[in-house]
Amino acid sequence: MSRELREVVFVDGVRTPFGKAKGQYAETRADDLVIKCIRDLLRRNPTLPPERIDDVAIAATTQIGDQGLTIGRTAALLSGLPQSVPGFAIDRMCAGAMTAVTTTAGGIAFGAYDLVIAGGVEHMGRHPMGEGVDPNPRILSERLVDPDALVMGKTAENLHDRYPTITKERADAYAVRSQAKTAAAYAEEKIQPDLVPVATRSAEEGWGLAVDDEPMRPETTMESLASLKTPFRAHGKVTAGNAAGINDGATACVLAEEQTARELGLPVKMRLVSYAFAGVEPEVMGAGPIPATEKALAKAGLTIDDIEAFEINEAFAVQVLAFLEHYGIADDDERVNPYGGAIAMGHPLASSGVRLMNQLARQFEERPEVRYGLTTMCIGIGMGGTVIWENPHHTGGKPPVDPPSANDKSEGAA
């Protein structure tokens, strides 16, 4: 029996505003954050029948407490989805939500699913990375992995060593631009359409409403960054200013088989082209996006010159700069993270992959001349992940795939 692969499309994605650890979500449960996202996806897409959702994949790096217990299933139930909708949990550290997307996308392409919800959540204020883990002592005793691999900031310092041309000044300058671009994107309301307001509570301050990313520091300057400590190495290059912080937040998106999206009158924001994950030495995990991108490009039959829009997770400035330097892309290339990134917005580990996708979809909407874009990120313990997407609004090549309305009974909607 032969099977044909089916087209997978990104229908819609949302996220909570990201918070600082011990900040606006200090007394909010992790699962409630992702539940809020799932509910808002259903509200935003009223032609999506909840009973048609085939699975819910939710990632968390620290699967314990209120972000444990097969969170994809519990979040689905608590979101009001029918009991017939299953769910599961995923862990690939920072690329959790990205892996939730690629895993369920594979199911759609194969024919096991027509519609899925994928996303991630991380409440680092409640559950610091590594809470409750017990690394096998062989990792250190047999020197299988450099001890630096278990401290992400040290891996970033090691990446600076590997790329000596990436100075602290370059990293700081990149961080200042990220803060400025995020502030400009907020001023132009490029970010807000993807945000789900979250009611918050505090025993001391009462009820509140989270509507913006809490980690933003638009006043950041080169001078203010120059004075920050380098906690991972004496006289090092990595600081709290040129890295993402410790954050809380959640994301979720709807993926669909393309014809199903058309039949239901759902939006089509991106079309999946290829994806790949790759391993590197764990002690330089920030280099992971480079081989992952090479693999994804090869699988798609593309080169880096075909990619005209980039969303690169900013776990550390040096990690983005290493990727750009490898491909000969300027530090301030306008195609890269035009709305800013994790240095300003935050990086709640397993949730961040869908944030990247939301922002790439925004780039595609605003730039119909662009055909291909990618989302990429480094992953703890020495990995990288890259997903390549096609712009359905592209004005050349394939025609746009904006679906007809649900009332369109033409042959194209059948």
Q: Is 347 a catalytic residue?
A: yes
Could you tell me which residues are beta bridge partners of residue 56? Answer: 87, 117
Q: Is 378 a catalytic residue?
A: yes
CATH of region 8-127+137-390: 3.40.47.10
The count of other CB atoms within 10 Å of the CB of residue 249 is 34
In whole angstroms, give the CA distance from residue 167 to residue 341.
20
In whole angstroms, give the CA distance from residue 255 to residue 101.
8
Classified as helix, coil or strand, 390 is strand
pTM of the predicted model as reported, rounded to 2 decimal places: 0.93
In 3D space, the residue among 384, 172, 387 whose CA is nearest the CA of residue 281 turns out to be 384
Residue of 37, 94, 393, 394 marked catalytic: 94
Q: Angle at the Cα of 226 (from 221 to 229), degrees rounded to 5?
A: 125
Residue of 127, 347, 393, 394 marked catalytic: 347
User: So what's the pLDDT on residue 410?
Assistant: 33
CA distances from 375 to 13, 231, 325, 354 (A): 14, 29, 17, 9
State both tokens at 296: 């994804």
Q: What is the pLDDT along the chain (414 residues), one digit of tens a residue?
A: 677 899 999 999 999 999 999 999 999 999 999 999 999 999 999 999 999 999 999 999 999 999 999 999 999 999 999 999 999 999 999 999 999 999 999 999 999 999 999 999 999 999 988 888 888 888 878 888 888 888 999 999 999 999 999 999 999 999 999 999 999 999 999 999 999 999 999 888 899 999 999 999 999 999 999 999 999 999 999 999 999 999 999 999 999 999 999 999 999 999 999 999 999 999 999 999 999 999 999 999 999 999 999 999 999 999 999 999 999 999 999 999 999 999 999 999 999 999 999 999 999 999 999 999 999 999 999 999 999 999 999 987 444 444 434 334 333 332
Burial (Cβ within 10 Å: 0-12, 13-18, ≥19) of residue 26: middle
Residue of 123, 127, 160, 378 marked catalytic: 378
